[in-house]
Structure 1
Amino acid sequence: MEVIFILIGISLLLAIGFLFLFIRAMRKGQYDDTYTPSVRILFDKAKDNKSNKDKPSTKTK
């Protein structure tokens, strides 16, 4: 029965720790950029274009 009290104490400490880290991240502005992730998929990266140039073209004229 004592084990359940130890587990409850450890889980409460863990939850308080995660809450503290979340509040600290919010205050530092980690989640302020809401625009960039939504449009990131629309832009091509230079790495993707280089890998396409290495492949031979299968188009026929």
Structure 2
Amino acid sequence: MMKKCAMIGCGGIGGYHLGHLVQFKDIIELAGFCDLIPEKAGQFCEKAESGKAYTDYKTMYDEIKP
């Protein structure tokens, strides 16, 4: 069973973690990325080749239910 992962914060440290998480796409669904700057969240979706971009973490958690 795949586990869903949602990330809050799409800055430098988040990018470091994303680089490692994409290696486990067979067991982790990268479902959502949240940042106050929508473009940053969108960039993470592109890098992960999955997920949805959000600017509100509560909305992300309600929709994704990680």
The interval holding the TM-score normalised by the smaller chain is under 0.3
Larger helix proportion, structure 1 or 2? 1
Structure ranking higher on relative contact order (CA contacts 8 Å, 6+ apart): 2
TM-score (norm 2): 0.21
Structure with larger Rg:
1
TM superposition score normalised by structure 1: 0.23
Structure richer in strand, relative to its length: 2
